[in-house]
């Protein structure tokens, strides 16, 4: 085969490869969402058991204090940053899991953890997230299922500071201590009493 013939065939092969690549589905978009639902250890484990979630990080957000830490995060709340594949789980589904993993009628904290840093909130990155979050909250309020007003605010997302390393995946690193804390705090008992069969929606394994 001469060079001209070889180059002609090669050009056709290359064109075919490009055409196949162009017609292939685009790679899944990795997105993030930020939720505050009391103890970030518990929220981290909850979301790590939602199919389509690829990573969850514990941290502090919502305040103005620069460089917050566990010992000093005044004005901030404990929160989680959820990384997810939006071809496998939608933001709306993450919202449904959020609501049914917390007590959104409690404005003073969550379960045994009291104070502002343990209050609930949804931090939205854009108008689409805001619209979906507000719609989901309105739906819950209109249902009257909870028997009390929903007090969880929907706020604009700001800076998110990662919590210290020992807080990340705490439930994996310290399973006995984590389980003792979660049971003692009454989190799951309250969520199940509040939401009934809807409790822990979207979480594949037990939330405990």
Active-site annotation holds for 42: no
The pair of three-digit structure tokens given for residue 80, joined into one six-digit string: 């989680």
If one counts the domains in the chain, the total is 1
114 domain-assigned: yes
Would you say residue 99 has pLDDT above 60?
Answer: yes
103 domain-assigned: yes
Mean pLDDT of 91-97: 98
Q: How far is CA 162 from CA 11, 78, 79, in A?
A: 50, 10, 9
1 domain-assigned: no
CATH code for the domain of 122: 3.30.1060.10
Q: How far is CA 32 from CA 65, 81, 164, 165, 167, in A?
A: 23, 6, 20, 20, 19
Strand partners, 80: 35, 58
**Mean of all residue pLDDT scores within the chain:** 89
18 domain-assigned: no
Would you say residue 10 has pLDDT above 50?
Answer: no
Q: What is the pLDDT of residues 185-197, one digit of tens each?
A: 999 999 999 999 9
Residue that the structure tokens 């049914």 belong to: 100
Residue that the structure tokens 């990662």 belong to: 162
59 domain-assigned: yes
What is the bridge-based pairing of β-strands 113-114 and 77-85? Answer: unpaired
When mean pLDDT is compared across 4-18, 80-94, 152-166, the lowest value belongs to: 4-18
137 domain-assigned: yes
20 domain-assigned: no
User: b vs e for 94-115, b when ≥16 Cβ sit within 10 Å of the residue's Cβ?
Assistant: bbbbbbbbbbbebeebbbebee
Mean pLDDT of 44-59: 98
Confidence category of residue 129, pLDDT binned at 50, 70, 90: very high
Q: How far is CA 114 from CA 22, 31, 42, 120, in A?
A: 54, 31, 15, 11
Would you say residue 159 has pLDDT above 70?
Answer: yes
Q: Which residue among the candidates 39, 42, 112, 185 is catalytic per the annotation?
A: 39
171 domain-assigned: yes
Confidence category of residue 28, pLDDT binned at 50, 70, 90: low
The range of the structural domain enclosing residue 153 comes to 30-198
Mean pLDDT of 59-75: 96
pTM of the entire predicted model? 0.85
């Amino acid at each position: 085969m001469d060079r001209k013939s070889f180059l002609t065939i090669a050009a056709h092969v290359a064109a075919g490869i490009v055409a196949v690549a162009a017609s292939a589905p685009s790679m899944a978009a990795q997105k993030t969402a930020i939720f505050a639902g009391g103890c970030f250890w518990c929220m981290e484990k909850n979301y790590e058991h939602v199919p389509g979630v690829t990573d969850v990080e514990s941290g502090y957000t919502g305040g103005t204090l620069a460089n917050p830490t566990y010992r000093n995060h005044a004005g901030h709340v404990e929160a989680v940053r959820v990384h997810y594949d939006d071809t496998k789980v939608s933001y709306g589904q993450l919202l449904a899991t959020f609501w049914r993993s917390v007590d959104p009628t409690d404005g003073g904290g969550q379960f045994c953890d009291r104070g502002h840093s343990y209050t609930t909130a949804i931090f939205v990155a854009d108008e689409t997230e805001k619209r979906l979050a507000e719609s989901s909250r309105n739906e819950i309020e209109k249902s009257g299922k909870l028997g009390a007003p929903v007090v969880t605010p929907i706020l604009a997302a700001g800076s998110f500071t990662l919590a210290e390393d020992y807080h990340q995946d705490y439930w994996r690193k310290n399973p006995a201590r984590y389980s003792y804390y979660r049971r003692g705090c009454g989190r799951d008992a309250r969520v199940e009493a509040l939401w009934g069969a809807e409790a822990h929606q979207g979480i594949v394994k037990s939330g405990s």
